[in-house]
Amino acid sequence: MARERARTRIRSELKNTAYEIFIGALSILSIANLVLMLVFASDPSLQLVLSVMNALFSGIFLGDFLFRIFTAPSAAHYFFRGFGWADLLASLPFAQLKVLRIFRLIRVFRLLRDLGPRTLWSTLIHDRANSALMTLLLLGILVLQFGSLSILAVEGKADGANITSASDALWYTVVTISTVGYGDQYPVTNAGRLIGVLIIVVGVGIFGTFTGYLANLFLGPSKPAEPEDGATDAEAPGATQATATTEAEAVTATTEAEDPAGMPQPAAAASVAPGASLADESAERLRVLLAQSEETMAEIRQLLADAKR
């Protein structure tokens, strides 16, 4: 019983599996960026790129905090005992508080560990739409950061280059990922063009997958509401009996139908024995309906012939 309650609590805390992995990967990347900012404190270009990425992470983590606190079974339990306070402080734009993102990483790791690798893999396989979307979003963030740093390192000191600052590199990467391509910033070296091709490929994948995800979300068939187990088990015998009774009455009524001359059809009624199976009753009912349909068509043809005369 205790293990079942623990599993239920874990599943209530665990959001979409692909989303949890996405948040965990962003937490790792954000912590790595803090280390890079400390190591390369004398490089203003690197500092600018990492500052922009940390601002993006702050917005994502703030949205994650709001999502969790509004969907948690107990907002107070999440905030005080589930490190919700650390999630809130880590999402604020203060460099000293960003180290608290490690609590988010610990929670994601604990939830995924308790879920189990087999269940984790099965969930990712069956939820391919969300998995692909989160994977491409994570890939887009990685390309935005490391693509900007790479294109700046390659193009920054090249002859005739127009990507010479961190803001130029970020602008070029964003425009290229979005597949807009204004053309005001472009690489002039072979290595820079290769990086640009990779950025374009990732951008096309992200927007194509995002479009398909939205189409499936808004245009896909809605899932029917699942009845409660107790109600289903209680109503199943009665529903089966009612269905069988209705079909038996329909067969009896059909077999007792009269022909156009007003005479009953005893042969059809007698052919359905009381102990006959449901399949035999359905087949006999079909034969009776076909016979009646043929008689109706014969009457219609006769009426049309009389009208022509």
**Mind listing the pLDDT tens digit for each residue in 101-146?**
888 788 777 777 776 777 777 777 887 777 888 888 898 899 999 9
> Is the model more confident about 231 or about 189?
189
pLDDT for res 150: 92
Work out the angle at residue 143's Cα, subtended by the Cα atoms of residues 196 and 125, and round it to the nearest 5 degrees.
120
Q: Looking at the predicted structure, is the pLDDT value of residue 157 above 70? A: yes
Alpha helices in 14-100 (DSSP H): 17-39, 44-71, 75-81, 84-90
> Is the model more confident about 44 or about 15?
44
Specify the long-range contacts of residues 84-87, CB closer than 8 Å, at least 24 apart.
Answer: 87/61
| Share above pLDDT 70 across residues of the chain, in percent, rounded to a whole number | 75
Using 50, 70 and 90 to split pLDDT, how confident is the model at 264?
Answer: very low
pLDDT for res 220: 66
> Is the model more confident about 46 or about 308?
46
pLDDT for res 172: 92
pLDDT for res 24: 85
Task: Tell me the per-residue pLDDT of 203-221, one tens digit each, with 9 for 90 and over.
Answer: 888 888 877 777 777 776 6
Q: Which tokens go with 29?
A: 């990347």
pLDDT for res 131: 81
User: For 179, how many CA atoms within 13 A lie in the half-sphere containing its CB?
Assistant: 9
Using 50, 70 and 90 to split pLDDT, how confident is the model at 249?
Answer: low
